[in-house]
């Protein structure tokens, strides 16, 4: 068994009806002959979309292959005891050249019952946003199921959605059950539970090249929606240079932001979890033991639980998301 090291994976590119070109023009990722790219899946254990190791002695093996072989050494003993051979997080970039559908994701209980799947709690980190770009998170007023149904039946769903203007570095946490959509002009990183279960509630009456509308999941979504109202849906944090800034802490993952212009050592010995780093800006060297890898904007790196310490050395300044399982 070869020694584990920080893993990069081959990017999985997704052509979407609402996708654009920013994956190429902003993130410098080549999606080849696809007309556009709406999503990239950077680290995925989702069946039919399992990531493949890009570099090193494990190159060509899937994330599941590596997990089955290394178990707790890859993900952490407690994580492996809980999730077994299922990798618990999914990392994406999303480029919305047009509005995504209004949608909702089921929680663990409902997803298990209907799909034998995990639920889908997620977070968004806005990488770049065009002037005037917006997104939806939750409702703009208190609702009951019956009140919601009346608005929906009258074609007035958009009237009750909380729409917010966004800018780069904004963060939104979306627990399962929260109605949401990503608006035109947003490029973002998404950290989420390993799940591909989405209930589409409204799709702006779009059609594909053959004139077909995408399937809606009107009835399925009703049991999944959290009708609660919140005064604030955006995650408020203070951006600080050369400090670890907490962004999200939930039952499924913890995410911090690192914005550094000097070297930093990260000691993961008390985590008992893998750590995922997503580079938002800059270039750096990730040192581990006597070895290192280079990391640049758009890279997602899985640091195995067996690597207790790494040093991040920037070439100038970098921004990173750091996520792990609590």
Q: Give the angle 286-9-292 at the CA atoms, nearest 5°.
A: 20
Cβ 163 vs Cβ 136: under 8 Å: yes
* pTM of structure: 0.96
Q: Give the angle 200-204-210 at the CA atoms, nearest 5°.
A: 90
Question: What pLDDT score does 262 carry?
Answer: 97
Question: What pLDDT score does 68 carry?
Answer: 98
Low-confidence stretches of the chain (pLDDT beneath 70): 1-2
Partners of 244 in beta bridges: 258
Q: Give the angle 184-185-186 at the CA atoms, nearest 5°.
A: 100
Question: What pLDDT score does 49 carry?
Answer: 97
Question: What pLDDT score does 70 carry?
Answer: 98
Kindly give, in sequence order, each residue whose CB lies less than 8 Å from that of residue 321, ignoring residues fewer than 6 positions away. 125, 189, 191, 247, 255, 256, 257, 258, 276, 277, 278, 280
Is 266 one of the annotated active-site residues of the chain? no
The residue from 178, 200, 206, 214 that is catalytic is 200
Task: Give the chain's domains with CATH numbers.
Answer: 12-222 (2.60.120.10), 244-324 (2.60.120.10)
CA distances in angstroms from 215 to 51, 150, 315, listed in the order given: 27, 21, 47
Structure token digits, residue 193:
């539970």
Exposure string over 255-272, b if 16+ CB within 10 A, otherwise e: bbbbbbeeebebebeebb
Q: In what order do the strands lie in the sheet with 122-129?
A: 12-14, 39-43, 89-96, 186-193, 122-129, 171-174
Minimal CA–CA distance to 102: which of 266, 216, 196? 216
Question: What pLDDT score does 211 carry?
Answer: 82
């Amino acid at each position: 068994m070869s020694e584990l090291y920080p893993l990069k994976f081959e990017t999985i590119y997704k052509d979407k009806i609402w996708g654009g070109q920013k994956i190429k023009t902003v993130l410098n990722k080549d999606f080849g002959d696809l007309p556009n790219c709406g999503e990239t899946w950077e680290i995925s254990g989702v069946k039919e979309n399992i990531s493949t190791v890009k570099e090193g002695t494990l190159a060509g093996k899937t994330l599941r292959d590596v997990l089955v072989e290394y178990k707790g050494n890859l993900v952490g003993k407690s994580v492996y005891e809980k999730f077994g051979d299922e990798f618990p997080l999914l990392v994406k970039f999303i480029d919305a050249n047009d509005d995504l559908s209004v949608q909702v994701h089921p929680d663990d209980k409902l997803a298990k019952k209907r799909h034998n799947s995990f639920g889908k709690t997620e977070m968004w980190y806005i990488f770049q946003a065009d002037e005037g770009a917006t997104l939806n998170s939750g409702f703009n007023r208190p609702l009951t199921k019956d009140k919601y149904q009346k608005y929906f039946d009258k074609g007035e769903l958009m009237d009750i959605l909380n729409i917010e203007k966004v800018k780069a570095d904004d963060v939104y946490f979306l627990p399962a059950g929260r109605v949401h959509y990503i608006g035109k002009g947003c490029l973002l990183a998404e950290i989420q539970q390993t799940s591909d279960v989405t209930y589409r509630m409204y799709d702006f009456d779009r059609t594909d090249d053959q004139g077909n509308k995408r399937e809606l999941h009107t009835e399925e979504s009703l049991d999944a929606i959290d009708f609660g109202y919140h005064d604030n849906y955006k995650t408020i944090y203070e951006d600080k240079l050369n400090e670890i800034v907490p962004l999200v802490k939930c039952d499924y993952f913890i995410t911090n932001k690192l914005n550094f212009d000097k070297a930093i050592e990260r000691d993961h010995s008390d985590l008992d979890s893998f750590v995922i780093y997503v580079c938002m800006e800059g270039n750096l060297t990730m040192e581990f033991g006597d070895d290192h890898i280079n990391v640049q904007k758009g890279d997602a790196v899985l640091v195995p639980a067996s690597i207790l310490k790494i040093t991040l050395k920037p070439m100038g300044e970098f921004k990173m998301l750091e996520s792990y399982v609590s």
